[in-house]
Structure formats: C-alpha cells, structure tokens
A and B are shown apart, each in its own frame.
Chain A
Amino acid sequence: MALVSHIAEEPISTPVPSSKSITLKIFRYNPEHDDSSKFMEFTVPYEKWTTVLEAILEVKKYFDHSVAVRYSCRQATCGSCGMMINGKPRLACFTKISELNSNVITVEPMNNFPIIRDLAVKFERLFDTHQKIKPYLIRDDTELETDEREFLQTPEEVEQYIQFANCIKCGLCNSACPTMATDSSFVGPQALAQAYRYVADSRDKGKDSRLKIIDESHGIWRCHFAGSCSQVCPKGVDPAMGIQLLRGYLLGFKS
C-alpha cells in the first residue's frame, strides 16, 4: 500500500528540449502520382534513447503527416518497420539515432520490395515464399493420441532449430540479399531459413516435400553465400548458415 502511494506521488517529468538534433532525410515517392522519387529533409531533436522510428513519427506529428511508414509494436517484435537506414536494412524501432554516429540520417524503403508509398513496401512476395515452404509441422498423425499431451523434445533437438524460430518476417534479410535484387523468382533467405527451421525440427515429418520445393532452378542453389542476410537480421537468425545446412541435406551429407 505504501509502495502504491509512493508511485502515485511521483512527479510527472516534463520533457526537456533536447540540445541535439539531426537531419532526417526521408525518401518520398508515390508510384500512383510521382514520376520520380525525392528526399525531404527535416531537422529533428533527439535524445540518447531516441530511435529512428520515433524521429520519423516526430516528423509525422509536427512537420508532415503524409509521410507513409508502417510500424506497430515499437519493440522489434512485429517486424513491420524495416527500412534502409543510412544504406543498411534495419528495423527503425530497433535502431537508435545515437548509435548511427551521423548527423544526417537517410531513411529509404527496403531494397528488393515494391514500394507502396514512401517507406512502406509490399510484403506479398515475402509472405508467398514463406507460405510456399510449408511453415508448419507436417505429420501423418494429425491428432494426438489420448495419452499424449505434447511432442516432447530434448534440449539438443530444440537447439537444432531454435534460433531460426526467432524469425519475425521483417524482410530485412531479403532486402540485403544480392540474388533477390536480380532474380525475381528466387525463394529468398527468409523462406530458406524457415525451410531449415522445420526440416531440422525432430517433430516434423515433411522434410522430403520441403526439400523438393526448394530444389528448383530459383531455389536454394541460387544463394551465393554473400552472408548479408545474416549480418542484418535483428533477431540473431543466421539464414546463410541455415541455407548451407539445407544444402547438406540435398548433397547427401546430412540425412
């Protein structure tokens, strides 16, 4: 009770105007109306903890409400706010301005995705390829036996795939992939990493059907192992490693 009253009495801090500011260059393009893209510059105050998404929302709130940006959770969980920040694919909500060490921050839509408007891109291809690799457990016994409650796994079995289960489908890996830039039919690192996530899962019995899906002319073999997908993943997933491990199955090194 005493604690509650203490919290209630805590004075509400008023925001102190920041002495620091950056120039935020925002990519502007509406494919329905504009012939070409342009950048608009805004001077935005920031604190040590201010994220790029917060700076963009500041622009929307005080300077230009028409800036199009997709976001939701603001905590690197929903995977909505992926964009090119100073030339690198990043989550805007997970990138602090202070960590960029630059007075000018340029935000652009993700590469390899069609633009809806400004910073918002279409995710259809990402979701289509993700769906294509059957991202769910495949088993013959669709119903649990009466005495079963769950499919038990050892910690070692979980370790085989758990990092790949952290994928939030933000599309940063596909944006960074050099093959995706030229091959519009390529499955992409996101879907391939998810294919490995299920192939490596001891509960799953759909390995053969998944390997068949990715073993085609625009499938797993078009990866050049540039590794940029793994570098940009905000959740620590290593799609490049997953792709190499999947190749091990297809080349007969793993079964």
Chain B
Amino acid sequence: MRESTIMKIHYGTALAAVALVAVHILMRLTTGFAESLEYENVLANYKFIPYAAMLELILILLAVHGFNGLRVILLELKQGRMYEKAVSYGCLVAMFGLIAYGSNTIIRTNMGMT
C-alpha cells in the first residue's frame, strides 16, 4: 500500500475517533460519572447494540491509528530492511490481535456470556 494511502487512513481514523470518543464521553455524562462505571451499567452499555457497535468502531479506529503511529515512530528510530519489515508486519499483527481481543470482549458481553 502506498504511504499516502496509509496516511489518509491515519488522518481519517484520527478524526473519526475524536468524534466517536466525544460521543462516548458525552454518554458517560448522561448519568453521574461514577454511576456510569458501575458493573451493571457497563454491562447494559455492551448489551445495547448501537452502543456496542460504536465501541467496536472506536476500538478499530484507535487500533489502526495507534499501531500505524507506533510503526511510524519505530521506522524513524532505526532503519534497515529486515527491521522495517519486522516493524510493519509486527504492528499489523498486533493491531489485528488487539481488535480480535477487544471484539471478543464486546461480542461475548453483548451476548451475555460473562
């Protein structure tokens, strides 16, 4: 993939994440902050499908943006053909790993499997 395409995704995910995390924080403010973090309320959030979908989207956006940012930082720190390949594929694997782990939590909680 061309670097400009990757960076378009990088900027796009940043903008979308800012918007969705703002919605997420506003939702916390609909009840008291401490109350919103109570076990039952958190479970209720996950079971409300539109909200769970938004959390899933935030997870994907932040994972893509964050791991690409990490890739960029690591590429600037050190150079070398093998190192750069390891960093790029390593970040890709870590990104999919985090998305899979987070999605697993969201889906299982949504289905009442906790």
Quick one: given A217-B84, A222-B72, are A251 and B77 in contact (CB under 8 Å)?
no
Q: How many A-B residue pairs have CB under 8 A?
A: 30
Q: How many B residues have CB within 8 A of the partner chain?
A: 11
B76 touching A215 by the CB < 8 A rule? no
Pick the contact of A222: B2, B8, B76, B84 (CB < 8 A). B76
Which residues of chain A are near B8, meaning CB under 8 Å?
A: 251
Which residues of chain A are near B72, meaning CB under 8 Å?
A: 221-222
Which residues in window 152-200 of A have CB below 8 A to B? 179, 182-186
Which residues of chain B are near A218, meaning CB under 8 Å?
A: 75, 79
Q: Does B4 lie at the interface of the complex (its beta carbon under 8 Å from any beta carbon of A)? A: yes
Q: How many A residues have CB within 8 A of the partner chain?
A: 15
Interchain nearest-CB distance for B12 vs A (Å): 11
Which residues in window 204-255 of A have CB below 8 A to B? 215-219, 221-222, 250-251
Interchain nearest-CB distance for B112 vs A (Å): 44
Interchain nearest-CB distance for A226 vs B (Å): 13
A217 touching B3 by the CB < 8 A rule? yes
Q: How far is the CA of A207 from the CA of B88 in the complex (A)?
A: 28
Pick the contact of A250: B4, B76, B79 (CB < 8 A). B4
Pick the contact of B79: A183, A216, A221 (CB < 8 A). A183
Q: Does B7 lie at the interface of the complex (its beta carbon under 8 Å from any beta carbon of A)? A: yes
B4 touching A183 by the CB < 8 A rule? no
Known: A179-B76, A184-B79, A222-B76. 17 other contacts (CB 8 A): A186-B76, A215-B2, A215-B3, A215-B4, A216-B3, A217-B3, A217-B84, A218-B75, A219-B3, A221-B3, A221-B4, A221-B7, A221-B72, A222-B72, A250-B4, A251-B4, A251-B7
The contact sample of 30 A-B pairs, CB cut-off 8 A, is: A179-B76, A182-B76, A182-B77, A183-B75, A183-B76, A183-B79, A184-B79, A185-B79, A186-B76, A215-B2, A215-B3, A215-B4, A216-B3, A217-B3, A217-B75, A217-B84, A218-B75, A218-B79, A219-B3, A221-B3, A221-B4, A221-B7, A221-B72, A222-B72, A222-B75, A222-B76, A250-B4, A251-B4, A251-B7, A251-B8
Chain B residues proximal to chain A, CB less than 8 Å: 2-4, 7-8, 72, 75-77, 79, 84
Per CB-CB distance, the 5 closest pairs between chain A and chain B, nearest first, are: A250-B4, A183-B76, A185-B79, A215-B4, A221-B7
